[in-house]
Amino acid sequence: MNILKKIKNKSVIVGIVGMGYVGLPLGLAFAAKKINVLGFDLDEKKINLLSKGKGYLKHISDSKIKKAVDSGYLKATTNFSRLPEVDAILICVPTPLTKHREPDMSYVENTSKMIAKYLRKGQLIALESTTYPGTTDELLLPMFENAGGKNKFKVGKDFYLAFSPEREDPNNPDFTTAEIPKVIGGVTPQCLKVAKALYDLVIIKTVPVSSARAAEATKLLENIFRSINIAMVNELKMVFDRMNIDIWEVIAAASTKPFGFKPFYPGPGLGGHCIPIDPFYLTWKAREFEINTKFIELAGEINTYQPYYVVERSVEALNKFKKALNGSKVLILGAAYKKDIDDMRESPSLKLIEIYREKGAIVEYHDPLVPVLPKTRKYNYDMKSVKLTKEKIKSYDLIVLSTDHSIFDYKLISDNAKLVVDSRNAFETRGIKRKNIFKA
C-alpha cells in the first residue's frame, strides 16, 4: 500500500529521530490520534524511560507518556535497523553552533547517513530541525538519492522529502504541538502532498509553501524577528536606565496601542536552543552569497552584552551600600533560560555565574527546576541548587534574579534580602517595590 493510502486509513507508522524537547511532544501528538509512533534516539537512558512509560522533561508529565505507551501507539528504540518499519521519518535532532559559531550539522548528517543506510522505497522523510535555507535540497537530497548506489532512489517517486520546522514553545499552556500551525515545504509537489497529508492528521492547520528553502527561511525569519526585537528592548533598557526611565513601564504603556506594536521584554541575555543560535545559521549561509547579515550581528552583539550589563548594575547597586563585588556572596535566582521550565541550554545564568566569579564573587544558585547544573559544552560547574531559608537569604550580599520562575517565594526573598538585582522585573510585577531592589 502506498504511503498516501496508509495516511488516509491511519495505518501509517511514524518514526521520529531525536526524542527531545521537539521529538517527544510530536510523538505524543501522533499517538494521541491513534497513529503508531516509533521513536529513535541514541540516548539509551531516554529510550529506557520512554519504554517504561516514564518521562524525562519536567513540562511533559509521566501520566501523559504512560497513557501513550500503555495505549500501544508510542514505542521507542535505539535500534536504527528498525527504520524500514516506519513509513515516515521525522528528524528532530539538535542543530547547535560550533565553537566558532558556525552551523554544527553533524547531528543532522549522522542521522541522514543512518536513514540513507536503511532507506526503503515509499518512505517520507521530513526534517524539523532548524537550519539554513538549502539544507534539505543540498545536504539531505543527494544523500538519499544516492542511498544504496548512484541515483537509486528518485525523489518524489521512490521517496518523499520535505522540511517542516518545529514551532514548539515548551511549557506554553496556550499551545500544544497539535495546536500550532505548521509550515511545510516539499522538494517536489508530490513530496509536499505526502508531507501535508501526514501532518494534517494531527496538526490543526498546515501551511504549504513553495519549497523546502522557503520553509527553512520561514523558521529563521521567526527566530530572527525575536532576536532583533529583544535586542532592541535590551538597548532601550540601557538607554532609559541612564535617563531614569523604567523600560517596563514604557513597554506596558506602549502595549495599550491596539495595532502596530508587539511587546518584547528585556532580560539578562538570550537563552535556549533557538534564539541565540538559529540566526547565525543564516549569517553563515549568507556569506556564500557575499552578504553580511548586519541586523543579526548587531542584535547578537547587544544580546550577548546583557549579562555583562546585569553585572555592571550589580556593581553600582553594591557601591550604593559601600560594598565591592569582589568577595561578596552572590545568589543567582534561576538557572533555566526561561520561566517555569527545566531547560538550561545557553542560559544567561551560566554566563552570569562565570562573570561574577571572574570578579571575585562567591556564587551560588537556586533553582528547584534545575537541582544540579549539568555539564554543557561550554561550562562544567560542579554546583547544586541551594535551599532557600530566611537565614540563607540573609546571608547573601546580593541576590540576582535571572529567571522569573513562578515557584519562587518572592515575598520571603524580598523581605530578607540585603540587596536584589532584578533582570526580569519579577518583583514589581508581583507588587513588590523596595529601595533595595534594583532593575537591570
Q: Which residues bind ligand NAD (CB under 6 A)?
A: 17-23, 40-43, 46, 92-95, 107, 110-111, 129-130, 166, 168, 170, 273-274
Tell me the closest approach of the beta carbon of residue 260 to ligand NAD, in angstroms.
27
Is 191 noted as a catalytic residue in this protein?
Answer: no
Cα angle 431-420-322, degrees, rounded to a multiple of 5:
135
Q: What is the Cα–Cα distance from 114 to 108, expressed in whole angstroms?
A: 10
Tell me the closest approach of the beta carbon of residue 302 to ligand NAD, in angstroms.
22
How far apart, in Å, do the first and last CA atoms of the chain sit?
61
All three cell numbers of 402, joined, read 535571572
Q: What is the Cα–Cα distance from 303 to 250, expressed in whole angstroms?
A: 20
Cβ-based nearer residue to ligand NAD, 22 or 325: 22
State the alpha helices, DSSP H only, in 278-434.
Answer: 279-288, 294-320, 348-358, 390-394, 410-416, 426-429
State the alpha helices, DSSP H only, in 341-420.
Answer: 348-358, 390-394, 410-416
Tell me the closest approach of the beta carbon of residue 38 to ligand NAD, in angstroms.
12
Cβ-based nearer residue to ligand NAD, 235 or 278: 278
Residue nearest to ligand NAD (CB): 20
Tell me the closest approach of the beta carbon of residue 26 to ligand NAD, in angstroms.
9
Q: Which of 274, 277, 332, 401 is catalytic?
A: 274
CA distances, 131 to each of 95, 104, 215 (Å): 7, 10, 10
Tell me the closest approach of the beta carbon of residue 358 to ligand NAD, in angstroms.
29
Cβ-based nearer residue to ligand NAD, 46 or 213: 46
425, 431, 436, 437: CA torsion to nearest 10: 0
129, 134, 140, 142: CA torsion to nearest 10: 180
Cβ-based nearer residue to ligand NAD, 42 or 238: 42
Report the 3 state secondary structure along 177-242: HHHCCEEEEECCHHHHHHHHHHHHCCCCCEEEECCHHHHHHHHHHHHHHHHHHHHHHHHHHHHHHH
Cα angle 153-154-158, degrees, rounded to a multiple of 5:
75
296, 95, 230, 374: CA torsion to nearest 10: -130
Tell me the closest approach of the beta carbon of residue 24 to ligand NAD, in angstroms.
8
Tell me the closest approach of the beta carbon of residue 15 to ligand NAD, in angstroms.
11
Cβ-based nearer residue to ligand NAD, 165 or 410: 165
Cβ-based nearer residue to ligand NAD, 281 or 408: 281
Q: Which of 330, 394, 397, 391 is nearest to 366 (CA)?
A: 330
Cβ-based nearer residue to ligand NAD, 168 or 216: 168
DSSP H/E element including 55: none
Instruction: Name the maximum alpha-carbon separation found in the chain.
Output: 77
All three cell numbers of 156, joined, read 518524489
Position 367, amino acid: D
Cβ-based nearer residue to ligand NAD, 93 or 370: 93
Position 365, amino acid: Y
Q: What is the Cα–Cα distance from 437 to 439, expressed in whole angstroms?
A: 7
Tell me the closest approach of the beta carbon of residue 137 to ligand NAD, in angstroms.
17
Cβ-based nearer residue to ligand NAD, 268 or 276: 276
Tell me the closest approach of the beta carbon of residue 408 to ligand NAD, in angstroms.
23
Residues taking part in catalysis: 274
